[in-house]
Amino acid sequence: MSLISVNNLTFGYDGSYNNIFEDVSFNIDTDWKLGLIGRNGKGKLHS
């Protein structure tokens, strides 16, 4: 089993007053499935 670990994540957009995430930490087991849900154009990450 593998583990993805995120520690002390803070994220915000340039020019935005508030951060989207602030000091968030979590672990995800690679057996999990994770998705980001939100309306179109609301800033979900893409590649």
> pLDDT at position 31, please?
85
> pLDDT at position 9, please?
93
Distance separating alpha carbons of residues 28 and 2, to the nearest angstrom? 9
What does each of the 47 residues of the chain score in pLDDT, given as a tens digit? 788 899 999 988 888 889 988 999 999 888 878 777 777 776 666 54
> pLDDT at position 23, please?
96
> pLDDT at position 16, please?
84
Spatial contact of 43 and 18, defined as CB atoms under 8 Å apart: no
